[in-house]
Amino acid sequence: MRHRGYLSARERAARSRLVKLLSQRPLLRGGLVTMARSCGKQGCKCARGEKHVSLYLSARVEGKRKMIYVPRSMEEVVRAWVET
């Protein structure tokens, strides 16, 4: 990689703004999806139709869509990252 001095003034300014944004708040590129599913246990509430609701992050990785489970304890943080 070349030294930043080889960049034009416009590129250096854009890079500076980007670094400033990234240092202020974490961010995620993707969307949040709420999914309802059945676990398959016979005595569970989902067997009666009350499905388990959970949050997933939908993102593209190497051109393929990936669904990443978001634990309940991380929901607020991940929502903030996606909004950023």
pLDDT digits (tens, 9 = 90+) for 9-22: 888 888 888 888 77
Which token pair is 13? Answer: 């300014």
**Cβ pair 33, 55 in contact under 8 A:** yes
Residue 72 inside a domain? The answer is yes
pLDDT digits (tens, 9 = 90+) for 41-74: 888 988 888 898 899 999 888 889 999 899 999 8
Domain count, the chain: 1
Residue 20 inside a domain? The answer is no
Residue 17 inside a domain? The answer is no
Measured between alpha carbons, how far is 81 from 84 in angstroms, rounded to an integer?
A: 5
Query: What pTM does this model have?
Result: 0.62
